[in-house]
Amino acid sequence: MKKTITVSIAVISLAAPAKSRKPNIVHIMCDDHSLQTISAYGHPLSRIAPTPNIDRLAASGMLFGRAFVENSLSTPSRACLMTGLYSHQNGQRALGAGIDTTKVFFSELLRDAGYQTGVVGKWHLQCEPKGFDYYCVLNDQGDYYNPEFKTPESRGAYLREEGYATKLITDHSIEFLEKRDAGKPFCLLVHHKAPHRNWMPEGKYLNLYDDVEFPLPANFRDDYSTRCDAARSQEMSVANDMTLIYDLKATELRTVPPYDGEWNIATAVSDLERLTPEQLRVWTEAYAPRNAKFIADGLGGEELVRWKYNNYLRDYLRCIKTIDDEVGRLLDWLEREGLRENTMVVYTSDQGFYMGEHGWFDKRFMYEESFGTPLIVSYPGVVRHGVCNALVQNLDFAPTYLAVAGVSKPEAMSGRSLEPLFDGAVPDDWREYLYYHYYDYPAIHRVRRHEGVRDKRYKLIRFYGRGFGKEAGCDADCAELYDLESDPSEMNNVYGDPAFAPVAARLQGALDRFRSELKTDEP
Ligand code: SGN
Ligand code: CA
């Protein structure tokens, strides 16, 4: 039984009958790409910096308006992608070691089913790529300029290549496709490094948006007054935690007190040491005049915060510009080769990102900007064109790819295939709630541990756990509740408001059910 009223489809086109050949799969996943900066999502920011090529996918495919991750951090998200399991099930709770390599990766099952499998770019998990015929992966987070890649031929060594990461990743993706056995279907994961911190743009875009003044988000000055302590004790604020030298490339400040002791100088210097003399010349030509003016102006207070915000946005969006170009190059290649028709192309990110909302950059929190992630699925003739607002999660990738390949999903996988949504209707038994759990504390950005549930309208978050370091003695045990319909930017925590007591009880019931059914970690 299907309901047609619970999903909004912007434009309806009749889906063709399911195709008989096994489809190819191209999963393009950026690192930290906010949906606010994809124009198909319609956010004001993306009107200033459009993404015409990513939009090509949305123009032919299904754009998910409520896509989320289960733990907003790179390795947990990547482990979830590969296994279809929650963090506590696949072992990858925090950023470092964790992945339980005895778990089945969907790539292994696709390969067994006759698919040629490849992964290019950021892998990040502390295990070898499992279930791949081909890999060409960055070392850990990887570098923007002249990065090192490991391939089956390099025998465990990471070898430096000259060029810009986003382009090299596309080059290697196309190489994999060119060399494939055309008689077999393929599944290719294209995992970009960009636009991860510290947002180093490609040479030709270093002056893009120079003259654009970006408006601060309406809630940039959130004073966190209605919330638990976690929002106050984080260290991911544009004003206080974004560093001038490392993040904002004011390299010349190295020798100017009081900045000469600033965090991450060593990293910032080694980032530039990676550049060839010609790359460095282009880089310096772009940033040196801006930095000279910045030093001469001696900005402080409000002006300094605006300068930081604008230069953060400019570099981030410059990185996105190359991503968009390279998505276009890959799509053009698929079209030229006549492969587009039988290929499901997915665009997503390992999580969302703050573009100054609540005053922040980075991710981790269960608030919408980082809990949410962009998701566009284009497979003309099979996936209907339009917007789907069903609740979906990165747990669903593995089951979806197995389903479209005709491979049965292992019993243990927690996610569910998105296939039933592809005709534009939402089945009656589609999930009503999502479960989220963030563990990486104490760690950089100091976001406290929390878990929670979200339905289509409300969100319950529970912060928990011992405080360390500057939070020593501040053990967390505190809840927040948001009505996303009346308060989409989550400024007004209504937990404890008697008017919302029934909602709080209902969401707590859902959280309790997740805890017992999924045997989650005890807070
Ligand atoms: C690095 C970044 C952090 C970021 C984590 C996780 N610092 O540690 O800002 O939160 O990665 O990012 S940096 O100084 O190394 O740039 S993730 O996308 O891999 O989860
Ligand atoms: Ca990331």
Q: Which atom of ligand 1 is nearest to the CA of 197?
A: 16
pTM: 0.95
* pLDDT at 278 exceeding the cut of 80: yes
| Ligand 2 centroid from CA 31, angstroms | 4
Pocket of ligand 1 contains residue 446 by CB under 6 Å: no
Q: Which atom of ligand 1 is nearest to the CA of 350?
A: 18
Question: What is the CA angle 172-415-128, rounded to 5?
Answer: 40
Of the two residues 20 and 3, the one the predictor is more confident about is 20
pLDDT of residue 259: 66
| Ligand 2 centroid from CA 229, angstroms | 24
| Ligand 2 centroid from CA 351, angstroms | 6
pLDDT of residue 19: 56
Mean pLDDT of 418-427: 97
CATH homologous superfamily, domain 24-198+316-417? Alkaline Phosphatase, subunit A (3.40.720.10)
| Ligand 2 centroid from CA 138, angstroms | 14
Which residue has the CA at smallest separation from atom 1 of ligand 1? 197
Residues lying with their CB under 5 A of ligand 2, a single-atom ion = 31-32, 74, 350
| Ligand 1 centroid from CA 363, angstroms | 10
* pLDDT at 1 exceeding the cut of 90: no
- Cβ pair 74, 94 in contact under 8 A: no
Contacts (Cβ under 8 Å, ≥6 apart) of 2:
423, 425, 426, 427, 428
Pocket of ligand 1 contains residue 73 by CB under 6 Å: yes
| Ligand 1 centroid from CA 247, angstroms | 12
| Ligand 2 centroid from CA 199, angstroms | 12
**pLDDT > 90: what percent of the chain?**
89
Give the closest residue to 231 by CA, choosing from 479, 466, 457: 479
Pocket of ligand 1 contains residue 322 by CB under 6 Å: no
**pLDDT, tens only, 128-181:** 999 999 999 999 999 999 999 999 999 999 999 999 999 999 999 999 999 999
Query: Among the ranges 216-220, 252-256, 296-300, which has the highest mean pLDDT value?
Result: 216-220
pLDDT of residue 15: 41
Pocket of ligand 1 contains residue 200 by CB under 6 Å: no
* pLDDT at 456 exceeding the cut of 80: yes
Which residue has the CA at smallest separation from atom 10 of ligand 1? 362
Mean pLDDT of the chain: 94
Q: Is 448-518 a domain of CATH 3.20.20.140?
A: no
- Cβ pair 431, 424 in contact under 8 A: no
pLDDT of residue 253: 82
What 3-state DSSP class applies to 305?
helix
Pocket of ligand 1 contains residue 74 by CB under 6 Å: yes
Mean pLDDT of 402-415: 97
Mean pLDDT of 62-76: 98
Which residue has the CA at smallest separation from atom 20 of ligand 1? 74
Mutation choice for ligand 1 from 141, 245, 249, 354, CB with most ligand atoms inside 8 A: 141
DSSP β-ladder status, 67-68 and 134-138: unpaired
* pLDDT at 8 exceeding the cut of 50: no
**pLDDT, tens only, 13-41:** 334 444 568 999 999 999 999 999 999 99
**pLDDT, tens only, 302-313:** 999 999 999 999
* pLDDT at 5 exceeding the cut of 90: no
266 falls in which pLDDT band (50, 70, 90)?
low
pLDDT of residue 49: 97
Mutation choice for ligand 1 from 29, 197, 270, CB with most ligand atoms inside 8 A: 197
Cα–Cα distance, 140 to 446 (Å, whole number) = 21
Ligand closest to Cα of 353 equals: 2
**pLDDT, tens only, 153-166:** 999 999 999 999 99
Ligand closest to Cα of 268 equals: 1
Which residue has the CA at smallest separation from atom 8 of ligand 1? 444
* CB atoms inside a 10 Å sphere around CB 330: 20
Cα–Cα distance, 276 to 293 (Å, whole number) = 26
Mean pLDDT of 319-345: 98
Ligand closest to Cα of 198 equals: 1
* pLDDT at 327 exceeding the cut of 60: yes
- SS3 string of 78-125? HHHHHHCCCHHHHCCCCCCCCCCCCCCCHHHHHHHCCCEEEEEECCCC
| Ligand 2 centroid from CA 188, angstroms | 19
463 falls in which pLDDT band (50, 70, 90)?
very high
| Ligand 2 centroid from CA 108, angstroms | 24
| Ligand 1 centroid from CA 351, angstroms | 12
| Ligand 2 centroid from CA 223, angstroms | 26
Mean pLDDT of 435-439: 98
Amino acid at 150: K
Q: What residues are paired with 478 via a beta bridge?
A: 463
* pLDDT at 470 exceeding the cut of 50: yes
ω before 258 within 30° of 0 (cis)? yes
- According to DSSP H, which parts of 157-276 are helical? 165-179, 230-233, 238-241, 265-273
Of the two residues 244 and 348, the one the predictor is more confident about is 348
* CB atoms inside a 10 Å sphere around CB 511: 20
**How many distinct helices (H) and strands (E) make up the chain?**
14, 18
So where are the chain's domains? Answer: 24-198+316-417, 229-312, 448-518
| Secondary-structure percent of the chain, ordered helix, strand, coil, rounded to 5 | 35, 15, 45
Mutation choice for ligand 1 from 444, 445, 446, 447, CB with most ligand atoms inside 8 A: 444
DSSP β-ladder status, 67-68 and 392-393: parallel
6 falls in which pLDDT band (50, 70, 90)?
very low
* pLDDT at 9 exceeding the cut of 90: no
12 falls in which pLDDT band (50, 70, 90)?
very low
Give the closest residue to 77 by CA, choosing from 418, 354, 375: 375
DSSP β-ladder status, 458-465 and 476-483: antiparallel
Which residue has the CA at smallest separation from atom 2 of ligand 1? 197
**pLDDT, tens only, 231-259:** 999 999 999 999 898 899 998 887 776 66
